[in-house]
Structure 1
Amino acid sequence: MQRVLMNGSVAGVFFATAAIAGVFSWEASGATAGGKGGYKLVPHRAVYDMKLGEKEDNSGIAGLAGRMVYEFSGNACDGYSVNFRFVTRFQNTDGGSQVTDLQTTSFEEPQAESYQFLSKTYVDQELVEESRGTAKAGAEAKTVELKEPSEKSLKINPEVMFPTEHLLKILDSAESGVSFIAADIYDGAETGEKVYSTTTVIGAKAPSQVEAGPENPDASLAGLHYWPVTVAYFDPTDEDATGELTPVYQLSFWLYQNGVSGHLTLDYGDFTIKGKMAALELYDESDCNR
């Protein structure tokens, strides 16, 4: 069960695919500093209640409950900051339980020039994994300087995307009618040495099913449209006997035209985690004159 949150790239999934709560405002016409499709990221704080979805008998999980908090700030001129926390309590079929706590912070410079990250994973309040470092873009390669879990330098392909860079690509593709994206992503997950391959499938635009009303935390989504999106994460080093890759996990969600994501599902193969929005707060935007 630890694989769910021992894998720091869970946070990366959210950063790179509307971050489970990526909030945007769309302009009537023309491009803005946020992206080519005429949108810009809006600072916000989103909270999701998480629970166990479908499970197979061999999953070893009897129950699951948790909460995810995602805070986003910044703009296309100054860069983007993210604070993310995902706390989950698992109940085993043998009667035991375990609390995992994934905490990450990151800062991505404009135009994906560099990416700074710190990720910590606690299991029953004990620190079991930490990564910290900086990745910088270059013409020939991206260079990663790790500080934790040990000091190390490595190079990754210059085509590899940072999280917010990937997020903007998904939104631009959705608005342009592109239904499939393949991209390699680096988010500093686990030991900070792993690059994930991803495939993103974007479905047809559909009208929102959210009802307006002060009792609904997602009432602001009423009257909007959304795209159903599924992102699969693959570990390129994890081939099966036939040489095929199977996803480490998949994230499915509804990406609304203002960038908010709902109807979350994390699929790990033998069990799923469902996420429902519990609160959404939008912050004042900072000026960006580019």
Structure 2
Amino acid sequence: MFHTHWTRPLPLAGLGVLLALAGAPATALAGAPLQPHRAVYDLGLTDSAAAAGMAAVRGRMVYEFTGNACEGYSISFRFVTQMADESGGTRVTDLQTSSFEEPAGKSFQFLSKTFINQQLSEETRGRAERTPQAIAIDLKKPKDHAVTLAGSALFPTEHLMTLLARARGGETIFVADLFDGSETGEKIYGTTAVIGPRREGAGDVGRDDPAAVGAIGAGAHWPVTISYFDESKGDGGEGTPIYQLSFLLYDNGVSRRLVLDYGDFELRGNLVELTPMQASACDR
């Protein structure tokens, strides 16, 4: 699972906001083991999208997750979109991110680059350390400086694992703060997840590729919608979200049937390829 703005993911990670951590609650460690994988999604406007000023939007998203609870988790993410306006102009946005989260959420390393029409527009790189009451961030890009953000925000892997734990426990609402290194690496986002009823098996294929859906496996899944709020604006989860991400979340951490709602328009993400990867051994 990942998190994503129009120009870059949030979470994932999540876009997007994946896997169990040694320090996660015991319930988060229950259930199916999480599957390292590479997923490819084709992007396009939804049928009901009201995209003011846009003639077309298309793109592709590639998400790769590896690691385990002993060694930590790595995520590589690429989000490319081509937008055509009504006058015939086009704009290609290419977001490339990579991150590494240590076991038990001790620290989080992040790197993201955004290219617009093949020109580097934005770069963020840094490392976040958890302290008892804050997140201490050592930034290298866009400028070299230190930042301390008060609060107990979750890193992306913790966020998704806790979400899965709540879903397995039958809860329907999950509220948490999230830090993922987005934008300039100095923001905490509020999130509110609405979790639908548990469903067994892969579910209807819909517009996704049948072979890709079949590769997920036959575990349980839940329909989930996550709203993201800018904490710096004092929304506290009560104002208008920056955007919403809806998807089917499987017990092994794979997501499909994506809808990214940016307010002015919506993008659909159809799963077209899924490659399960061999999980490395972990004694925990």
Instruction: Give the TM-score, by structure 1 length.
Output: 0.86
| Offset at residue 218 of structure 1 (A) | 1.1
Find the counterpart in structure 1 of residue 6 from structure 2: 5
Instruction: Identify the match of residue 267 of structure 2 among 273, 282, 285.
Output: 273
Q: Give the 3 Å change call, closer, same or farther, for CA 32–75 of structure 1 in structure 2.
A: farther
- 1:114 and 1:4 map into 2 onto residues whose CA distance is 23
2:134 aligns with 141
Q: Which moved further from structure 2: 45-54 or 4-13?
A: 4-13
- Partner AA of 1:285 in structure 2: A
Change over 3 Å in CA distance of 1:244–1:287 after alignment to 2: closer
1:181 and 1:246 mapped to 2: Cα distance?
Answer: 17
1:56 aligns with 2:39: no
2:104 corresponds to 1:116: no
**Is the partner of 2:42 in helix, strand or coil?**
strand
Q: Say whether 1:44 aligns with 2:37.
A: yes
Q: Displacement, 1:154?
A: 1.0
Shift of 1:227: 0.8
Residues 8 and 121 in structure 1, CA contact (< 8 A), matched pair in contact too: no
Cα gap change, 1:250/1:79 in structure 2, threshold over 3 Å: closer, same or farther? Answer: same
Aligned-partner Cα distance in 1 for 2:32–2:219: 15
**Equivalent residue number for residue 81 of structure 1:** 74
Q: 1:33 to 1:280 in 2, by over 3 A?
A: farther
Contact 2:79 2:95 in 1 (8 A): yes
Distance 1:11 1:238, change over 3 A: same
More off after superposition, 39-48 vs 103-112: 39-48
3-state SS, counterpart of residue 161 of structure 2: helix
Q: Give the deviation of 1:152 after TM superposition.
A: 1.4
Output the amino acid matched with 1:120. K
Q: Does 1:72 align with 2:65?
A: yes
State the partner residue of 1:246: 240
In structure 2, the partner of 1:225 is 220
In structure 1, C-alpha distance between the alignment counterparts of 2:158 and 2:62, rounded to whole Å: 21
Query: Where does residue 199 of structure 2 map in the other structure?
Result: 206
* Amino acid across the alignment from 1:143: A
Aligned Cα root-mean-square deviation (Å): 2.6
**What letter is aligned with 1:13?**
G
2:192 matches 1:191: no
- State the shift of 1:155 in Å: 1.0
In the aligned structure 2, how far is the partner of 1:55 from the partner of 1:155? 39
Cα distance change, pair 4–35 in 1 and its aligned pair in 2 (3 A): closer
Report SS of the residue matched to 1:165.
helix
Aligned-pair CA distance for 1:94: 2.0
Q: Which residue of 2 aligns with 1:105?
A: 98
The CA distance in 1 between the partners of 2:31 and 2:246, in whole Å, is 24
The Cα shift of 1:34 comes to: 10
Q: Is the 8 A contact 1:34 1:40 kept in 2?
A: no
Aligned amino acid, residue 136 of structure 1: E
The Cα of 1:260 is off from its aligned counterpart by 1.9
Q: CA separation in 2, counterparts of 1:201 and 1:52?
A: 23
Q: Which runs of 5+ in 1 are unaligned?
A: 25-30
SS in 2 for 1:232: strand
Amino acid at match of 2:248: W
Find the partner of 1:234 among 220, 229, 232: 229
Post-superposition CA distance 1:194-213 (Å, at most 9, x none): 111110010111244346xx
Partners of 1:128 and 1:8 lie apart in 2 by 15
Q: 1:4 to 1:109 in 2, by over 3 A?
A: closer
- Aligned equivalents of 2:36, 2:26: Cα separation in 1: 14
Q: Structure 2: which 5+ residue stretches go unaligned?
A: none
1:77-104 deviations in Å (ceiling 9; x for gaps): 0000000001110011221111000000
The aligned counterpart of 1:282 is 276
Give the C-alpha shift of residue 262 in structure 1: 1.4
Output the CA distance in 1 between the equivalents of 2:76 and 2:117: 21
Fraction of identical pairs, as percent: 45
2:169 pairs with 1:176: yes
Q: What number of residue pairs does the alignment pair up?
A: 272
